Amino acid sequence: MPINSWLTALTLVIFLLTGCGGPGNVRERQETLDAWENRVRWSAYETLIDFIHPEWLEENPITSLELERLNQFRVTEYRVRAIMMHPDGDSLARRVQIRVINIHDQRERIIDHQESWRYDEGMKRWMLHSGLPDPRRY
């Protein structure tokens, strides 16, 4: 098994052992993160907006032009590089690496993307407080 798979498995075990308390539960958090990852992997960009907190979207609206630009790229790999959990368990940051291919010129780009997740007590779910990956910046 590659070292990255071991690190991901170890991180999940740590979450299971230490994350039983706090907002939401470990299973809900992991289900949300897994659903996000799957949608990114399938390049289902329009559906990612459902994961972004409404307050963040209000301050940082995602335009149809941004979605059109994203649709020019197909994800070939999504890899979690680091997870930093806040001690109170209500937020976490993940550094991920996303490999994409431009469908027009077949060039690969590697995106280092920072995700900021927080549990919203009112909505009773984990929400993203950062934007969509932007392959044009890399």
Q: Return the closest-CA partner of residue 54 out of 105, 1, 129.
A: 129
The SS3 call for residue 72 is: coil
Percentage, residues of the chain above pLDDT 90 = 74
Q: Rounded to two decimals, what is the model's pTM?
A: 0.78
- Mean pLDDT over the full length of the chain: 86
Residue 13 has pLDDT above 70, yes or no: no
Asked if residue 27 lies in contact with residue 16, where contact means CB atoms within 8 angstroms, the answer is no
pLDDT at 71: 94
Residue 9 has pLDDT above 60, yes or no: no
Please, which residues have CB within 8 angstroms of residue 124's CB and are 6 or more apart in sequence? 24
pLDDT at 28: 94
Which domains, and CATH codes, for the chain? Answer: 3-137 (3.10.450.100)
Per-residue pLDDT reduced to its tens digit, 70-87 = 999 999 999 999 999 998
pLDDT at 4: 54
- Cα distance between residue 71 and residue 57, in whole Å: 19
Residue 20 has pLDDT above 80, yes or no: no
**Tokens at 134, concatenated:** 């932007």
pLDDT at 135: 83
pLDDT at 2: 58
Asked if residue 88 lies in contact with residue 22, where contact means CB atoms within 8 angstroms, the answer is yes
Residue 118 has pLDDT above 80, yes or no: yes
Asked if residue 78 lies in contact with residue 98, where contact means CB atoms within 8 angstroms, the answer is yes
Q: Which long-range contacts (CB under 8 A, 24 or more apart) does 126-130 make?
A: 126/24, 126/28, 126/29, 126/32, 126/33, 127/51, 127/52, 127/53, 127/56, 128/36, 128/51, 128/52, 128/53, 128/56, 129/52, 129/53, 129/56, 130/56
Mean local confidence (pLDDT), 94-115? 95
Q: 24 pLDDT band (50/70/90 cuts)?
A: low
